[in-house]
Chain A
Amino acid sequence: MTFSSHSDRLAIDRRKFLTRSAGVASLIGLGHSVPGWARGSHSGALARKGSDVLSGEHLTMTVADASFATGSRHGPAVTVNGTLPGPLLRLREGQNLVVDLENNSSMGTSIHWHGLLVPFLMDGVPGVTMAAVEPGDRFRYTFPIRQAGTYWWHAHTLQEPMGHYGPIIIDPADGDPHPVDRDYVVMLSDWSPMDPHTLMKKLKVGEAPFNYQKTTATDDYPLSGADRRMWARMRMMPTDIADVSAPLYSYLLNGHGPEDGLEFAFNPGERVRLRFINGSAMTFFNVRIPGLPMTVIAADGQNVRPVEVDEFQIGNAETYDVIIEPGGADAFAIVAEAMDRSGMGLAMLTRHAGARATVPPLRDPPLLTMADMGMNHGQMDHGSSGGTMDHSAMDHSAMDHGGTQHTPSAAGPAPMNMGSMSMRDTALLPQSVKVGPGIDMVSMNPVDRMGDPGIGLNDVGHRVLNYRQLVSAKMHSDMRRPTRLKEIHLTGNMERYMWSFDGKKFSAVTDDPIRFAFNERVRVKLVNDTMMAHPIHLHGHFFELVNDAPHGHQPLKHTVIVQPGGSAQFDLTANEPGDWAFHCHLMYHMHSGMFQVVTVRPLQGGEG
């Protein structure tokens, strides 16, 4: 790409310049003590790949401007303690933690402890729980470690996509139920030489500017002419799987691009734990290790009943711990394919250094389906009129939706009839949703898609994880039935690149948060009125996916993917007082408005 070579040149020139000016500075006694924020430059030392390990009760984490290179790409980055990803925090359940965050970078920063139960003032979200730590400033985090498992930390600013993130492992106080011979973190991320603000602007003004897998007159997509006309009529794209992908991104495993040769050693017969963390800005990954089944033992840090799969999709900010038992070959490929299949991250499990397994080619890009449009899947009988109702004779435009109960039988028209159906029947929305230009679609029948393996993984010929397979290993202490249902709609406009909850950006609801009473047990229903999958993250809590798991064993998560055109429900015990961010973890969706605050009151909690 031209822009990467362009920034290559810029970055190299800047490095030369910095080297020289540093030399001059040392003559007058400043040396390398001039921090990035004082230089006013984005460039800095080349980031080392992979994390150093930090343990103990008092840690220092230093943010700095940096540069990063992988493959043919080179550009600005942000490091914490000099590496990308930043340090791995290896902690113990029950310990206390003090972290001094020092900002030597040129931008405001923060650290959010993703998945950790912390007092809200320690949650690290500028504008909600703290003010951003300005260049040259520092901030002390201090909180007890109340849990065990795999988590991560990241900036809650636009430094995050530049490299400001890292893994957290917390060892359980009472021993791990899954003894293993080796324990590795596999932190997935996406990195681009393009400045996040520039990237954001291009998403806003361009028309899916980073997608080079669009439908064309010469493509191989299994779409009929009628299908293509239907999509064009809706002003939508069936290839709208990822807003930003391989034309711009390099996919990293522990900071290593596919050509960087990252290896994880094993000996045959060993049990190896891989802790997958999706720390990417905009990428869902399909993870598989061809030839090796994976036993999922934890999701979002919380143990689940072991379930064996061949592949799983991991949304932004989710974590999955798996156990593998490699053997029978010298090497296995860990393949993290971007959901739109434009590229992949890659590492090798090797019995001896340098061993290589065959890397599978990228699979064909997937397409959005009727279900992703909010049409009830399973009821689609293309071309014929379903059931006892004669849909072809129905005047859908004249249907009175006002008083209609929207049962599945009323919402399964064949695609050919869709011309007369509104893809944006705003009468289907509750009053809480503000209708406006920011909503380009309303799901006609947003069914629960907990059992969905994720876009493109419905028929890949092997076992793929879905949320219905997750069952909490431990029985929950709070098994009350929720007393209240809170419905929240995920809304957006792809053309304008606007994203929101209930049609309202944060600016519209700054002083009107989503409110829960302390210790209230609430069922939250997320309805996705868009054709994109959104990984929705609630800070400061775990919630239980409503997924048909046995009573008391709904899986705990901090981030849930809501599939396109579908819905997902979680039960929440709101027992962490304070203001908490609640947002889509796709970086540029959050920055386009899909961000609100959840507040749990009274602030004194049970003591007040």
Chain B
Amino acid sequence: MRAAPFLLLALASMPCTAIAQDHRHEAHSAGDMATSAPSQSHAETTTADGGAIDHDAMDHGAMNHAGMDHAAMANDAPIPQGPPPPEAFSGPTFAADAFVGPEKMAASRASVVRAVSGMPVFWFQADRAEYRAREGRDGYLWDVQAYYGGDIDKLWLKSEGEGSFGEPVESAEVQGLWSHAIGPWWDLQAGVRQDLTGAERTHAVIGVQGLAPYLFEVDAAAFLSTKGDLTARLEAELDQRITQRLILQPRAELNFAAQDIPELGVGAGLDSAEAGLRLRYEFTREFAPYVGIEQEWKAGRSADYARAAGEDPSVTNYVVGLRFWF
């Protein structure tokens, strides 16, 4: 798959991106700023193109410009940065309070602060909700997420699961996560995952979700179960616009395990891999049916477990589904 090398790249760049986001040289003291910033503005003034103005055509006659020219102005000493004069701090915190009434203004201010500082929003997205045609019984899959919160902190819910028609649900899980922005493009997420099928387990979750360079949507998480099993999952998607509404989306998912988990058919190391390609049409941004193909492989010992259970470790799904959000 063409996505595979990108995925590795995304993986490699992710941690350093997260770290680099908040690095900051502390060398700029307030004093430095006072001298360096004005000198920059000074340089701009002198290099500015004054040619756009026809100075000759201006009526300078009425004024005494004898000693004036632009070069002289620009050569003046830079204007210093500094704190406001003391009188700028005089009087009440909020000028209108004494006239309108402190309580009335406090209530009004609170509602405006909310309104102009990024109100919390609720978002639900079914990234994949699909029918899967394949050898043997056809199946279904859902992969949805929702959040509620502001710019920095959100409550994030995720659920995914799949199965074959006519059989019990094969796997299903829900996650409840606290999500905290740690950089322009990345959220750190931590919380709980509950498996709803098979050997029902609860996991602690820690992960990152966000947008990697080259616009990969990445969701990477590690899970520690109440049985002590450590697993990890890495998902990446990329929207490649063919037209404004027709979008090809390569998708890859890798699952890892730190140990064998025989009762779940999971072997240590790379457990499974998925590579998919979905073509969707956005009737609106919010509503987009798609068709696609997804290949799933069990790897290593997981493949052995699968064969022992009489399952094919490699499955090809032809999918048709709906991506939507609100």
* Partner pick for A204 among B84, B113, B121, CB 8 A cutoff: B121
Chain B residues lying within 8 Å of A201, measured Cβ to Cβ, are 121, 123
Q: Would you list the 3 A-B pairs with minimal beta carbon distance, nearest first?
A: A127-B112, A402-B27, A402-B25
Q: Please provide the chain B residues from 1 to 58 with a CB less than 8 Å away from any CB of chain A in the complex.
A: 20-28, 30, 33, 36-41, 43-45, 47-50, 52-53, 55, 58
Q: Which of A17-25, A30-38, A385-393, A428-436 contacts B (4 or more CB under 8 A)?
A: A428-436
Contact with B along A412-441 (1 / 0, CB 8 A): 000000000010101101110001111110
Answer yes or no: A72 CB below 8 A from chain B CBs. no
Answer yes or no: B242 CB below 8 A from chain A CBs. yes
Answer yes or no: A408 CB below 8 A from chain B CBs. yes
Is B214 in contact with A548, judged by CB distance below 8 angstroms? Answer: no
Chain B residues lying within 8 Å of A200, measured Cβ to Cβ, are 119
In the bound complex, what is the Cα–Cα distance between A523 and B42 (angstroms)?
12
A331, chain B: closest CB distance, angstroms? 32
Q: Which of A40-48, A272-280, A321-329, A483-491 contacts B (4 or more CB under 8 A)?
A: A483-491
Chain B residues lying within 8 Å of A422, measured Cβ to Cβ, are 20
A563, chain B: closest CB distance, angstroms? 13
* Partner pick for B243 among A216, A451, A486, CB 8 A cutoff: A216
Answer yes or no: B118 CB below 8 A from chain A CBs. yes
Is B41 in contact with A426, judged by CB distance below 8 angstroms? Answer: no
* Partner pick for B118 among A204, A213, A215, A234, CB 8 A cutoff: A204
Answer yes or no: B315 CB below 8 A from chain A CBs. no
Closest to A108 in B: B111
Contact with A along B172-207 (1 / 0, CB 8 A): 000000000111110000000000000000000000
Interface centre among B50, B87, B89, B104 (most CB of A within 10 A): B87
Number of chain B residues close to chain A: CB under 8 A: 94
Task: List 14 other contacts, CB 8 Å, given A495-B211, A496-B184, A593-B116.
Answer: A127-B112, A131-B104, A235-B212, A405-B36, A427-B25, A435-B24, A486-B81, A515-B84, A515-B89, A520-B88, A525-B37, A593-B118, A601-B91, A603-B90
Answer yes or no: B227 CB below 8 A from chain A CBs. no
Chain B residues lying within 8 Å of A601, measured Cβ to Cβ, are 87-91
Q: Please provide the chain B residues from 55 to 112 with a CB less than 8 Å away from any CB of chain A in the complex.
A: 55, 58, 60, 63, 65, 68, 70, 73, 76, 78-82, 84-85, 87-96, 99-100, 104-105, 107-112
* Partner pick for A468 among B30, B53, B87, CB 8 A cutoff: B53
Chain B residues lying within 8 Å of A355, measured Cβ to Cβ, are none
* Partner pick for A120 among B79, B96, B119, B184, CB 8 A cutoff: B96
> What would 5 A/B residue contacts be, using CB atoms closer than 8 Å?
A202-B285, A217-B242, A447-B44, A583-B116, A590-B116
Answer yes or no: A10 CB below 8 A from chain B CBs. no
Closest to B78 in A: A485
A528, chain B: closest CB distance, angstroms? 14
Is B100 in contact with A121, judged by CB distance below 8 angstroms? Answer: yes
Chain B residues lying within 8 Å of A318, measured Cβ to Cβ, are none
Is A426 in contact with B24, judged by CB distance below 8 angstroms? Answer: yes
Closest to A546 in B: B45
In the bound complex, what is the Cα–Cα distance between A534 and B274 (angstroms)?
44
Is A407 in contact with B108, judged by CB distance below 8 angstroms? Answer: no
* Partner pick for A127 among B36, B89, B109, CB 8 A cutoff: B109
A308, chain B: closest CB distance, angstroms? 11
Q: Which of A55-63, A88-96, A145-153, A502-510 contacts B (4 or more CB under 8 A)?
A: A502-510
Interface residues on A, range: 35 or more
* Partner pick for B242 among A218, A233, A424, CB 8 A cutoff: A218
Answer yes or no: B295 CB below 8 A from chain A CBs. no
Answer yes or no: A482 CB below 8 A from chain B CBs. yes
A271, chain B: closest CB distance, angstroms? 21
* Partner pick for A506 among B81, B116, B123, CB 8 A cutoff: B116
B172, chain A: closest CB distance, angstroms? 25
Answer yes or no: A569 CB below 8 A from chain B CBs. yes
Is A451 in contact with B49, judged by CB distance below 8 angstroms? Answer: yes
Answer yes or no: B284 CB below 8 A from chain A CBs. yes
In the bound complex, what is the Cα–Cα distance between A305 and B116 (angstroms)?
38
Chain B residues lying within 8 Å of A332, measured Cβ to Cβ, are none
Answer yes or no: A518 CB below 8 A from chain B CBs. yes
Is A2 in contact with B283, judged by CB distance below 8 angstroms? Answer: yes
Contact with B along A582-608 (1 / 0, CB 8 A): 010000001111010001111100000
Answer yes or no: A130 CB below 8 A from chain B CBs. yes
Interface centre among B78, B93, B110, B212 (most CB of A within 10 A): B93
Interface centre among B39, B91, B283 (most CB of A within 10 A): B91
Is A578 in contact with B95, judged by CB distance below 8 angstroms? Answer: yes
Is A130 in contact with B116, judged by CB distance below 8 angstroms? Answer: no
* Partner pick for B23 among A426, A466, A493, CB 8 A cutoff: A426
Is B184 in contact with A439, judged by CB distance below 8 angstroms? Answer: yes
Is B215 in contact with A235, judged by CB distance below 8 angstroms? Answer: yes
In the bound complex, what is the Cα–Cα distance between A482 and B96 (angstroms)?
28
Answer yes or no: B240 CB below 8 A from chain A CBs. yes
Interface centre among B24, B30, B38, B119 (most CB of A within 10 A): B24
In the bound complex, what is the Cα–Cα distance between A602 and B82 (angstroms)?
19
Answer yes or no: B262 CB below 8 A from chain A CBs. no
In the bound complex, what is the Cα–Cα distance between A204 and B121 (angstroms)?
8
Is A213 in contact with B244, judged by CB distance below 8 angstroms? Answer: yes
B162, chain A: closest CB distance, angstroms? 26
Is A591 in contact with B115, judged by CB distance below 8 angstroms? Answer: yes
In the bound complex, what is the Cα–Cα distance between A118 and B94 (angstroms)?
18
Answer yes or no: B117 CB below 8 A from chain A CBs. yes
Is A517 in contact with B213, judged by CB distance below 8 angstroms? Answer: no
Is B325 in contact with A130, judged by CB distance below 8 angstroms? Answer: no
Chain A residues lying within 8 Å of B93, measured Cβ to Cβ, are 511
Is A305 in contact with B285, judged by CB distance below 8 angstroms? Answer: no
Is B96 in contact with A579, judged by CB distance below 8 angstroms? Answer: yes
Is A126 in contact with B108, judged by CB distance below 8 angstroms? Answer: yes
Answer yes or no: B241 CB below 8 A from chain A CBs. yes
Answer yes or no: A516 CB below 8 A from chain B CBs. yes
Chain B residues lying within 8 Å of A206, measured Cβ to Cβ, are 285-286, 325
Is A131 in contact with B105, judged by CB distance below 8 angstroms? Answer: yes
Answer yes or no: B152 CB below 8 A from chain A CBs. yes
Answer yes or no: B312 CB below 8 A from chain A CBs. no
Answer yes or no: B170 CB below 8 A from chain A CBs. no
* Partner pick for A496 among B49, B76, B80, B181, CB 8 A cutoff: B181
Closest to A405 in B: B36
Is A481 in contact with B79, judged by CB distance below 8 angstroms? Answer: yes
Answer yes or no: A229 CB below 8 A from chain B CBs. yes
In the bound complex, what is the Cα–Cα distance between A130 and B176 (angstroms)?
42
Is B108 in contact with A481, judged by CB distance below 8 angstroms? Answer: no
Chain B residues lying within 8 Å of A136, measured Cβ to Cβ, are none
B20, chain A: closest CB distance, angstroms? 7
In the bound complex, what is the Cα–Cα distance between A508 and B182 (angstroms)?
18
Chain A residues lying within 8 Å of B48, measured Cβ to Cβ, are 448, 450-451, 468, 548
Answer yes or no: B151 CB below 8 A from chain A CBs. yes
Is B181 in contact with A487, judged by CB distance below 8 angstroms? Answer: no
